[in-house]
Amino acid sequence: MKENEESIEDNAITNQVNSAHYTIYEHQPHEAPNIPINQNVLNFTNRQLESKYFAALYINKDDKDRFSFEFKGNLTIYFIFYSAFLVIKTGSILIINYQGNLAQSHYLFHISCLIFLFCVAYLLLMLLKLYDICFEYNRTIFSSLTFFAILYLIIGEERILSGITKENFNGDFPINIPFIMGFAVCLKLVLFNNFRHFSSVGLSTIILYLILSLCLSESRIWTFLTEYFALLIFICFQLFETWQLDYRTRQLFYRKVKEEADVYQNKNIKEYVKYDEGIKSEVELVVKTCETIREIIKKARSVIMFKDIKSSLKEASNQLNFVQQKIARGLLMNESRLDLSIDADDRAFLSQNFMDVKSSPSATQSRRPTAQQMIENALEFPFGDYGLTELEGVLTGVGKNWNFDIWFVYNATGHSIFILSKYLFDNFHIKQEFLIPDKFIENYFKSLESKYNSVPYHNACHASDMLHSLLYFITQSNIIKQISTLDLLTCIIAADGHDVGHPGVTNRFLVNTKDELAIKYNDVSVLEMMHCATIFEVMRYYDHNIIANLNNEEWVYCRKLIIEMVLTTDMSKHFELLGRFRTRTALNDISLDSDEDKGLVFSIGIKCADIGHSAKPIELHEKWTILLCEEFFNQGDMERSRNLPISMYCDRNDANVPKAQFGFIKNVALPIYDVWTNYLDSEQIRLNCFNQLEKNLAYWDGKSVNRRKTLDIPIMKSTARLMKMKTAKYDSNIRQDLT
């Protein structure tokens, strides 16, 4: 049943060549002027198109024996007729010979020819199934086979054969013209009405029959003319019908190819993402399914003539597009609407108590200056008490120089978050815009920094480096032109606090060990929940509250966006978020005027910044890799001491760092950076970030080929040295240890 359905779809172009269908669908006026066909021999002028046409008629790609379902049917009919011809002809020869009415030379001629035709036919059938070259030239093979059979029928006509052998025939012999007509019909079927091949056989038959009959036949002229004109009229009719059907079939095929090309060129989903293989979210799969259904509806509309049905299909396509947009935006699962028929007071009550708190439009559409205006009016260097002129040069690279070195800032001042944030608040006029006292800024950021633990990787320096990376994405793209100062403030707070209090272990470890944090936050994004809570707990102190002067709408908006950004750093949500963003960018419907879309963009930005070390120059990247590995190994040591299964890449006795880094960049970093850099459309970001990421992938690939190596003593010493110095100025010996 499945094979029948596929064959009907694959050979739809041959099902409409019927005169009535062809006229109803109005193919002729739409296709005739532009179809690239040689009108004389009915061949496509484009060889590639001719090959596709042949494949559409004869080949079934899903079938092991290659033959399309319709070709197998036509082939069966041809060989049934061919076999019946051989049986009938052989039987009649044997009977006539038995009666003694057939000359011995005639008998040998017939038997030899029939045996030859039998052997050749079934040998060619076997070759057709075994060799591609035979299958490719099957039309020539069947035309030749049919021509030889017809040639035998013409020469084997006893009146002509007697003229050749000069031996008289006694008795009546069957007329061969019905067999010739039958071969003509069967040849048309197996050739799919190919005019060029059929005409060569048909015209040869008419000419040979005329010449041989006139020269060799001793029958009466009127008998010959009657038979000849009957055959001539039949062949001419078949030639005319074959030309018409061949031309129509090619027109329909050309239209099908043209429509498929149009569908491919006008797809709403853009297929420009390079690293999208492997892992796809359910959102992406559902949206792509919607797009496929819309394309099917579009094809159906192109061949339906009734306006009411076309209108209904268009409405269905529009409704499907609406659903597609909703799925891509993630609104079908979490958005409820209150009907306007509900009483206004009841609607307000339900909205306030049964739905999520949402920021007012005035929060983001306020009259505060844009982030770009604040950055363009940057102040002079705000620090003067550290005695380092180099510090000013380094800090001016925040958000501008992708290779910014947070370790220099930390080693020079003993701080990272406080120094970077104070510089940004002063330099970008955030302090002045939101009337934040200097004491509040110092108290909040120093307190926040102090709550970071002295763990190898997830420490205050990582948070500061991540803040710089996020600002780089914003300032080096058009995002800076579309966000407000409030957005900039929110991004700084979220980035600074996104890992505050991190204990240096994963959520999985906390859940498996029944840690009090996991109990407190119900095993759901445990660390990220704790980070969010800590950010606002620090602000609860009066002289720490840097967002105290925001109005209520701005405060709700700021808090909501901070929470959304921090929670999305949970790596268990990575592919879900990536799938949603990849789908939305493909649909090209993201607008930073929408708070929901802005949250999505900032969430992707903070995720890319969080793994930003993967795209840093190899010296910085290796340095962060050492620290991350040490943190993983510490967790592995704790898991071993508790008799827990050691997490992947956390066993210091069986580590393969190059393999781990290669896999992380390939499966996690590259896909999200690919879609992110495409969205930002910044040559600077693509050059400095994405291209460097590909270089780092190749670097680790070169180290991991045919290599399984644990981290050796020199690397451990290097890591210990880094931890002891609180990641002091980078020592080039560390890189030598890695190699």
Token duo for residue 146: 């049919």
CA–CA separation, 144 and 596 (whole Å): 70
Report which secondary-structure segment, H or E, holds 256: helix 221-265
The answer to whether 197 is annotated as binding is: no
Three-state DSSP at 697 gives helix
Phi, psi of 43 (to 5 degrees): -125, 145
H-run or E-run covering 395: helix 389-395
Cα 710 from Cα 652, distance rounded (Å): 7
Cα gap 106→112, rounded to integer Å: 10
Given the residues 106, 415, 458, 613, select the one marked as catalytic.
458
Is 462 labelled as part of a ligand binding site? yes
Q: What are phi and psi of 484, to 5 degrees?
A: -100, 175
User: Tell me, what DSSP letter sits at residue 668?
Assistant: I
Q: How far apart, in whole angstroms, are the C-alpha atoms of residue 735 and residue 52?
A: 56
Q: Is 498 annotated as a binding residue?
A: yes
Closest CA to 195 of 144, 152, 256, 238: 238
Q: 536, 503 in Cβ contact below 8 A?
A: no
Please report which residue ranges of 27-103 form alpha helices under DSSP H: 27-31, 47-58, 69-98
- What is the per-residue DSSP string for 564-605? HHHHTT-GGGHHHHHHHHHHHHHHT---TTSHHHHHHHHHHH
458 is catalytic: yes
Does 610 show up as a binding residue in the annotation?
yes
Residues 609 and 411: their CA atoms lie apart, in Å, by 22
* Helix, strand or coil, per DSSP, at residue 63: coil
CB 569 within 8 A of CB 608: no
Give the whole-angstrom CA distance, residue 695 versus residue 682. Answer: 19
Which positions ≥6 away from 99 have C-beta within 8 Å? 171
Place of tokens 């000013």: 392
499 is in an annotated binding site: yes
Within 8 A by CB and 6+ apart from 201, the residues are: 143, 146, 147, 150, 184, 187
Burial of 49 (0-12, 13-18, 19+ CB in 10 A): middle
Return the closest-CA partner of residue 79 out of 189, 154, 178, 235: 189
φ/ψ of residue 37, rounded to 5? -125, 140
d(CA 235, CA 198): 10
103 is in an annotated binding site: no
Other beta carbons within 10 Å of 379: 12
Phi-psi group of 522: left, alpha or beta (phi > 0 → left; psi -120 to 50 → alpha; rest → beta) = left
Q: Tell me which residue of 567, 569, 609, 607 sits closest to 406, measured CA to CA.
A: 609
| Cα-based distances in Å from 90 to 87, 94, 95, 107, 170 | 5, 6, 9, 10, 18
CA-based nearest residue to 103, from 93, 92, 115: 93
- State how far the Cα of 35 lies from the Cα of 55, in Å rounded to an integer: 19
- Could you report how far apart the first and last alpha carbons of the chain are, in Å? 61
651: tokens are 């066993």
330 contact partners, CB below 8 Å, separation of at least 6: 283, 580
Alpha carbon 90 to its chain centroid, in Å, reads 61
Phi/psi of residue 549, nearest 5 degrees: -90, 5
Q: Is 661 annotated as a binding residue?
A: yes
Residues at the binding site for Zn(2+) are 462, 498-499, 610
Residues at the binding site are 458-462, 498-499, 610, 661
Residues at the binding site for AMP are 458-462, 499, 610, 661
Catalytic positions, written as ranges: 458
